[in-house]
Every structure is written in structure tokens, then in C-alpha cells.
Amino acid sequence: MRFIALAVILCAGYFCSTAFAHPRGDWTKLIITRHWPQTFCSVEQCTTNLSYWTLHGLWPNTGMRCNTSWHFNVSLIEDLIPEMEKYWPDLLAPTSPKFWQYEWTKHGTCAAKADSLNSQHKYFSKALELNLKYDLNSVLKNNNIVPSEEYYTLDQVETAITGFFGVKSKIQCVHSGKVQTLGQIELCVDRDFQLIDCEKSSKEIWSNDIPAVLVSSQSDLSVCDHSVPVYYPPVPSRS
């Protein structure tokens, strides 16, 4: 009996302390998601000549559409627009703020439960800051992982990322038979914006989160396979 009572107390204490650290429903992790524009536009209705990884989103690990009455207002991030257009472009509709609006409503309103991100300006500027701080483009390039007609192994890509950042990322591909095309890379940070491992759990339901209202085929991305060559498509040369 005593052992059981002790276990109950310890257990309650544990949940109690974690509950204080992160009130129920609050996120513990943010997923910085970048996608490769050439791959995105090979699946979706778009063309792009961008040859750098662009932001797809900054997603808390829990919660979705946490406050639908908190409307996106582009004038609140007016000073960020040039950077937003460069680093977080809507590849489907480059002149529209729709993508940002979608990401704000679905994920930003949940991220905003943390004081550090509790405004639209804080949320979007933090995403831009993290994108540059954890600079995927340079890390890949510096490890000679460049867009090419030659294939890579997933190990090479993983080693480049893990070797530099020191944490596990989640690397997703578009699968098509004997080849897989590099599509999306997630890096994760904790509430202090320090890098931590991303889980590779299939339960992370937003891993394929391309706005359903904007695109058709959202099931195309999934975690890359170690046994299949990886294609990292270059910008098509113009004819």
C-alpha cells in the first residue's frame, strides 16, 4: 500500500510540475518548416525560379486554429513585407497575403499562447528570424548538397543537417517509384527557440500541412526513405 501511495504522490507531483511549466494545451515545441520551391511547384500549379528554401510555416506542436476571431491583418506586418515576400512567399499566388493569413489562423493563433509570440508582428518576425538563424540554405550548400541532376543519399542530406545543427530534423520527399524528390525539411525549437530534435512520429498530423483550400494534392509529401535515391531538383534552365 505504501508503495502505491508513494507512486501516486510522485506521479501527481510530476504532472503537477509539468502542468505549471506548460499549462495544458500549450505547445512545447515549434516546428520551423521550409520547403523547396521547385519540388512544391512540380506537384502544384505554379512555376518559380527560386533556388533557395523558403518558409512554409512555424507550427506549434499542439493546437490548431486556436482563436478564429483573431483575424490576420496585413497592415500589422507592413514593415516585414519585403522579407516575407522573399523568405515566406506564397508560391501559388506571389502577390497575395492569403498564405500568411492561412498560417496565422491555423498555427499563429496557437503559437500566440506564448507571450513571446502573442502578436502577429511577433509571430511573423520570429519566423523570419529563425529562418535566417538556422540557415538551411548555407548548411546544405556548405556540405555540397546542391540542386543537381545527380542524386544524393538521404544519409548525405541528414548528415549535413544533423552535423551542423546537432539535432534530428524531419526530411520529407515526394515519392515517385525509384526516386524521391526532396520537398520539405523541418527543424524544431523549444519555447526558448533553441534547437531540439524533431520527432519522426507519423502522429504529427500537420507534417503534410499544405493549405487544403489552396491546393489539391496534399498527400504527396512523406518522410524520405533511406533506401531510395534523393533528387534535389535545380531550377529549370529557361529556353
Ligand X SMILES: *[C@@H]1O[C@H](CO)[C@@H](O)[C@H](O)[C@H]1NC(C)=O
Q: Any idea what DSSP says for residue 130?
A: H
d(CA 122, CA 108): 10
239 binds ligand X (CB under 6 A): no
**At residue 116, what are phi and psi to the nearest 5 degrees?**
-65, -15
237 binds ligand X (CB under 6 A): no
Amino acid code (one letter) for 146: V
CB nearer to ligand X: give 102 or 134. 102
CB nearer to ligand X: give 18 or 73. 73
Closest CB 227 distance from ligand X, rounded Å: 35
d(CA 168, CA 216): 30
The site map against ligand X for 41-70 (x = CB under 6 A) is --------x-----------------x-xx
Residues 147, 232 contacting (CB under 8 angstroms): yes
Helices (H) and strands (E) in the chain, counts: 8, 8
**189, three cell numbers:** 525549437
The site map against ligand X for 9-48 (x = CB under 6 A) is ----------------------------------------
Number of amino acids touching ligand X (CB under 6 A): 7
Please confirm, yes or no, whether 186 is among the known catalytic residues. no
177: Cβ contacts below 8 Å, ≥ 6 apart: none
Of 30, 27, 82, nearest in space to 194 by CA:
30
12, 16, 21, 76: residue in contact with ligand X (rule CB under 6 A):
76
Catalytic residue (one of 78, 103, 150, 158): 103
Please confirm, yes or no, whether 199 is among the known catalytic residues. no
Please confirm, yes or no, whether 103 is among the known catalytic residues. yes
Catalytic positions are 56, 103, 107
Q: Using CB under 6 A, list all residues that contact ligand X.
A: 49, 67, 69-70, 73, 75-76
